Amino acid sequence: MKILVINCGSSSAKFQLFDVDTGAVLAKGNAERIGIDGKLTYKPAGKDEFVSTEPMPDHKVAVQMILNALVDKDHGVIADVSEIAAVGHRVLHAGMHYSESVIVNEDVKKVIRQCFPLGPLHNPANLIGIEACEDVLPAGTPQVAVFDTAFHQTMPPKAYTYALPYELSEKYSIRRYGFHGTSHRYVSHRVAEFLGKDYNDIKIITCHLGNGSSFAAVNHGKCQDTSMGLTPLAGICMGTRTGDIDPAIVPFLMKNENLSADEVDTLLNKKSGVQGLSGVSSDFRDLEKAAKEGNDRAQLALDMFAYQGKKIIGSYAAAMEGVDVIVFTAGIGENTDHMRKAMCEGLEFMGVEFDDEANAGLRGKEAIISKPSSKVTVCVIPTNEELAIAQETEALVR
């Protein structure tokens, strides 16, 4: 079965066409600068990349161009668009409405629209992508919404409620939602399978460490807690995001730097994190290089990231009253042995015996990086959010 996965932004649409029976990516690419001028990058498996700069005035034209590329007689990978059994859309926010992926209908679109205030940058673009596909694909092609927030909907109220006046939280639906849910779901399931354990019988801490980073405590198959909150700004410090800070810093900066709400929002989301701390880069490869060359602020950024990550791991072990598996994933989690080691070092008191040899130099591969005698098994599992979206889409439409 062939499934098209689309991740729509306000001026872009990233896509991958999967054969879900084999897991193979038949083609992938990105339609960028939609509404500005237009650039389609398209890479069919085993063939050369193709770039088109034909104008893309809107998402409908962009989706049509993607479909044209997929069926093109020279670089296409399918004979007809009717071969696409369904489209899986990455959608940021479902509020409190869905704990699973759903086939899109008018009610689902209404929910995505209702959640615009909770995901103002993503949800409108996600809906535009869905509607563009409805317009352009053969009538009746199922569209599936796979939500970043859905996996975390099993959290209990004590984990997701903020200590604000209750009426205000209710009025604006302010609570912890959590993000990267597709990745946490995929990696937690996969690690159980990889270790031959029953998913519903173990306590897992998933550490998704990328440009955006989040942790989840997955207790007997259910997400019990996660580090991102109402928005993806919360939790550990990230590439350009502060992570958790004393909330009083916000009015302090607004008053003393004369910043508007939007300006302080930009400062916290785009100019902070390890980039703001180091003044070097948001990329951990650049930070490691700078730290090696003696840059103290780059070293501080790395130390803070490791320290904050370790604190979250420890707190989730306490929250679940134990942990069986710690799993690292995403750009940093899959590739940076120093960071995995730094987050696990000193956790012998809670049963972690880290295996330096297994960890050193390991990149992008499923592996166990704790000693066989370790009470807690530490693993690396590469995430694959697009494949997870394709698989969830397939499961729903089959």
DSSP type of residue 228? -
| 396: its two tokens | 């729903």
CB of 138 to ligand AMP, least distance (A): 34
* Per-position DSSP letters for 18-39, written without gaps between them: EETTTTEEEEEEEEESTTTS-E
β-strands 143-147, 84-91 pairing: parallel
Is 198 part of the annotated catalytic residue set? no
- Contact region with ligand AMP (CB under 6 A), list: 35-43, 122-130, 258-266, 283-291: 283-291
Burial 318-357 (b: 16+ CB within 10 A, else e): ebbeebbbbbbbbbbbbbbbebbbbbbeebeeebbbbbee
Residues 355-384 close enough to bind ligand AMP by CB under 6 A: 363
Diameter of the chain measured on Cα atoms: 62
Written as six digits, the tokens of 41 are 């990058």
Which residue in 153, 242, 278, 335 binds ligand AMP (CB under 6 A)? Answer: 335
- Give me the 239-258 binding string for ligand AMP, x by CB under 6 A, dash otherwise: x-------------------
Number of residues that bind ligand AMP (CB under 6 A): 12
* Nearest to ligand AMP of 144, 238 (CB atom): 238
Q: Is 331 in the site for ligand AMP (CB under 6 A)?
A: yes
Residue from 44, 88, 95, 210 touching ligand AMP (CB under 6 A): that is 210
Among 161, 211, 266, 315, binds ligand AMP (CB under 6 A): 211
Q: Does 343 bind ligand AMP (CB under 6 A)?
A: no
Is residue 284 at the binding interface for ligand AMP, with CB under 6 A as the rule? yes
Of 211 and 295, which CB lies nearer to ligand AMP in the complex structure? 211
Q: Is the CB of 220 or the CB of 271 nearer to ligand AMP?
A: 271
Amino acid in the structure at residue 277: L
Region near ligand AMP per CB under 6 A, out of 6-14, 19-27, 277-285, 385-393: 277-285
* Sites for ligand AMP among residues 161-200 (CB under 6 A): none
Phi/psi region, residue 330 (left: phi>0; alpha: psi -120 to 50; beta: rest), is: left
Bridge partners (DSSP) listed for residue 39: 32
User: Which residue's C-beta sits nearest to ligand AMP?
Assistant: 331
| DSSP secondary structure letter of residue 354 | B
Output the six-digit token pair for 35.
């509404």
Nearest to 42 by CA among 32, 33, 34: 32
- 3-class secondary-structure state, position 58: coil
Those residues whose C-beta lies under 8 Å from the C-beta of residue 190, and which sit 6 or more positions away, are 366, 381
3-state helix, strand, coil in the chain (%, to 5): 40, 20, 40
332 or 381, CB closer to ligand AMP? 332
Interacting residue with ligand AMP among 7, 219, 336, 393 (CB under 6 A): 336
- Which residues are near ligand AMP by CB under 6 A? 210-211, 239, 283-285, 330-332, 335-336, 363
Q: Which residues are catalytic?
A: 148
